[in-house]
Amino acid sequence: MSAWLDAFVPAFGLLALGAVLKRVLLPDDRVWAGMERLIYWVLLPALIVAALAQVDLATLPLGRIVVVIWGALGIGTALALMVARGLRQDHGAMTSILMGGIRFNNLVGFAVAGALFGGEGIVMAAVATGVIVPFVQFVTTAAFAIGGRGAAFRPLEVARQIALNPLIIACALGFGIAALGGLPPGIGPTVQALGRASVALGLLCVGAALTAESFSDRPLLQFLTGFQKLVIMPALTLALCRLFGLEGLTVTIAVMFMALPTAATSYVMSRAMGGDAKLMAAITTTEHVAAVITLPLWILWLGL
């Protein structure tokens, strides 16, 4: 029980603290925007590079991990589009349903993986992030480009946005450094120190972005999207893990990361790219609240 409390109380407690700080001590949006940029461009990439640099690529079943996670994400993409079309939602709402259905809050994942499994959990969390991010980034960027604001789909522009994504760059660097034998002395501890700062600050920023006013906005869409993200996606991933023979911590981290609520940056992305930002804020808030229950239950189901 103490291990569970050590894993989940800090993660979700920091979310709650971020919400309080936003309303009591740091109400200025510019403060949080600055921290979000620092986390997105520096601290989280450092965490990913530091973790992936330790991966033993020779023993990692990377091909099967990619097949499992991309397979689940592909099915999830189709389901989200079916929900949007079946309920006759416009393009903006479709992008919110899609991001709510397949994007993930890797900061919560890193916090829980590190608390439950230590350094090995952080490494596997970075591997999961490295596999999920390229797929999700491509699909969501393409979704905004196709049909949004009457603009034509430009494959080169989508490819440019994906290639310049700091998390994708960090994943490529991390795998490359691992292939070369890891980070050199002095550099490794520096990158690791930057990475450790990302989790607590990131969770505070996520909490600051959540709003109680979101619960009443289109509850059916919130429920369907949340059910897909927090129940269907991890169930699909678990089934595919069994089908392709993955075992142990690999299965646990893969399922756990697919059971995470959507990224808080989904709201920022929706607002910047012409999506339905109000619906995205609602989905983000309710998924994080529901994940307080669903994420521990998935870990329990996996036998921890």
pTM of the predicted model as reported, rounded to 2 decimal places: 0.87
What would the two tokens of residue 80 be? 């989200």
Structural domain that includes position 149: 2-208+216-301
- Please report, for the domain that includes residue 37, its CATH number: 1.20.1530.20
Are 109 and 256 in contact by the 8 Å Cβ rule? The answer is yes
Q: Per-10-residue mean pLDDT for the chain, 304 residues long?
A: 71 87 91 86 89 86 96 97 92 91 91 90 92 89 70 68 81 90 89 88 82 74 95 97 95 96 79 76 88 92 78
Alpha helix locations (H) across the chain? 2-24, 29-38, 44-52, 62-86, 91-102, 106-145, 155-163, 166-179, 187-209, 219-227, 233-243, 248-258, 265-272, 277-301
Domain count, the chain: 1
Output the pLDDT for position 226.
95
Are 123 and 252 in contact by the 8 Å Cβ rule? The answer is no
